Structure 1
Amino acid sequence: MERIIEEIREDLSRRIAVAADRLTDRTLAEDPAYAALLGRAELRERIHHALRQAVEGLLRSSRGLPVELADARAVGALRAEQGLPLTSLLRTYRRGGRLLWQSLTEAVTAHDRAALPRLLPGATALWDVLDQMTDAVAESYRRAEAAHGDRDREHRAALLDVLLDGGVGPSAAAAAGEVSAAEAAAARLGLPERGRFTVVVLAADASGAPVVPVVPAGTGAPAGGTGAASAPRVLWRIRADGEIGLVELGHHPLESVRELLAPLGVRAGVGPVVAAPADVARAHRLAALALRTSPESEGPRTALLDERLPAALVAAEAELAGRLRQVVLGPVLALPAQDRRTLLTTLGTWLACQGSTTDAAQRLYCHRNTVSNRLRRLEQLTGRSLSDPRQVVELALAHAAVLQRVEAEPATRPAVPDPRASRTPGGTARRSPRRRA
């Protein structure tokens, strides 16, 4: 093979130059991606060089030497960075391989038709060289594309962090005549300067696995991963302590976030609607507060801050919440565990039933007189009347403080079971209500 190529080298070089011209014109005419990226002179030079590299690879292969693939790898990485589709790149290499074989056969035929049979064994060797070159191009392209995607994801995450954690305040930026860090980050993420935004905070998954389906870097998608145009856009940020979503609501109501998160089956807190990227950090802080108002015992649910403001007030002031527990419910908390659990569960259920003793009795699987007796005992212990709205507020807030403390201290969780559970405080399921003292 080496001898044949040496015999036709000069003619083969001319034919390869013509093949490079033909392939360049065809590529620019049929592939808009190439036409948008490269001028004719540059593309023609790269194609010509690749064809000559293939011939040199064929010669090295015939000598038992490895094919030089550094140039092919460099081209693959460069085209990935430039954004040329891999299919376009490989199509040009395949067409170049066919043109090169045509040039070889034509050059041998012109030199000595009788030598054609000697060329045939070289066909396998040539296609092996071409396969090595295209494999090197594709592998390098994919590696560069993956690295580029990683950089994009890291950059996107950093921009989201600026919004979620707060950058330079808008007033400080305005005083300096500059765009705030939040505004700049929002612009890079394709978010409008003014709009309707909120933040979602998901409870951390015990397994550590992300709850939100992965979406392409730099894009937003509905939480369910459907990408439906009718759903708000969400930009997700996965952190060690949980997942956070910046929601661009557009014309959607805040309540639509609840439907958005329903397929995930997780606990979530949702902050208020804000109008500017600079306010996203505040929405994030309040969304985390909303999540704290939703105990794990309540199961998967979406807690909107504006629907849980009293509990949020308790969660926001740990010191005052502790004082509230002690002052309002101190005598109840001092009871033995069984009595304490019974009274707190009854109070929580009565509050959840909007003060209906009958409904509370049905939920607790006991007679309504039993509920009334327990509530009277609670009033005696706390010195507060459930007929006084102001004192009911105190009891409700104190009860919320107890639940939040239990959530923060798993070891004490059995002391206050789920008030919705269809079991008696003692843990024995009942088939029918009975009177209890």
Structure 2
Amino acid sequence: MNDFDPPRPNDEANPRDSRRWQELLDGLDVAELTATFVERVASITGYDSSPLPTSEIERSGRLAFSAMLQGLRSGGLPDFVPIANDVGVSRARAGIPITSLMTAIRLDYNVLWEALTSASSPSDAELLVRHTWIVLRTVDEYAAQTQRAYMAERERMLREESSALQGRIANLFQDHRSTAADRLDAIAAELRIPRDAPLLVIGAAGDDIPALRVYISQTERSGRAVYTHYLGDILIAFMCSFDLDGPHATEAGRSLLALRVGIVTAGRGLSDLRAAANTTRDLTRTITSDDDTAITWNRGWARLAKLDLQQSRNGLLADVDNALARCGNTERARLMECVRSYLRTGSVGESADELFCHRNTVSNRLHRFAKLTGVDPTIPEQSARLVVGWS
């Protein structure tokens, strides 16, 4: 504590203070705090014409208030708060002035303090005075982290705008039959990666782009270089490949797989980048509202195959659907559940365990499905139709 820090309450010496403070915090509703904030922030210059959708402001508001309430409970925020980094990056990308961002964060304090005073009784007046410092400190710590992330992202944006390298990167995505080896060597040298080093190629669209931008910012903070380019409406990012899952997976890999993005590996590095980026773009466009994690090639190849078949107007499963329509609803549901499980596990025993039934029941249902539809799920060449059609 320096000479300018206000006196702080000693909750350990005064457990009654601590209990009552926690009770007041328990009475605060994150949804109500967020609604008040969203209503008021719209009047701040920079937010009144911001490209940020209201849903994004609501999402980040909920996470910010949740983080700050946790800080109020524990005496302060940790050194790195993900939502502070998220807000700093996304507001910089949205073109919101730093002064407007700081005004919005000061609004967080007003909303919190009003909620605390509303939840308190007259006998809590001295308690609130004794805890004023923690509210100020928590909001100030959140503001400082957000500001640092904002300024770092602004610097990155300036580098992107001014760097001639972006033009060379764009050249990699153009429709050339091949890029001269010496040109690839020059670009690889500027990127500081081996020309033939495998690359992870990641794509995001629409409302999923801000989350990928935040991931890129966090990844670069760890010292890993990430490069970006737009293919139409899809943001493509690429970097040197690393394990996403398995025994050697890192937190960076697990975090990436948790995003709603498409992911493909360019096995031969920059030579394969354009083809991999096109595949990533197509995978990204198959993401639906039901998806909440990344679509890798292993997860998404069937979707692309299905899309190609639909575009060629081939009725991939029309005969199967017609055959199953002749079943009762209960039988149809059980048959499809059983076949989907078997296609996923490849094992009668595992499917039996998954469905809580006997192995013979699974075998009988697979046989019944094959007899009804003419498609045997146990024969790979025939089951491929089901895998693609149900993807």
TM-score, normalised via structure 1 length: 0.42
TM-score, normalised via structure 2 length: 0.46
Point out the structure with max Rg over C-alpha. 1
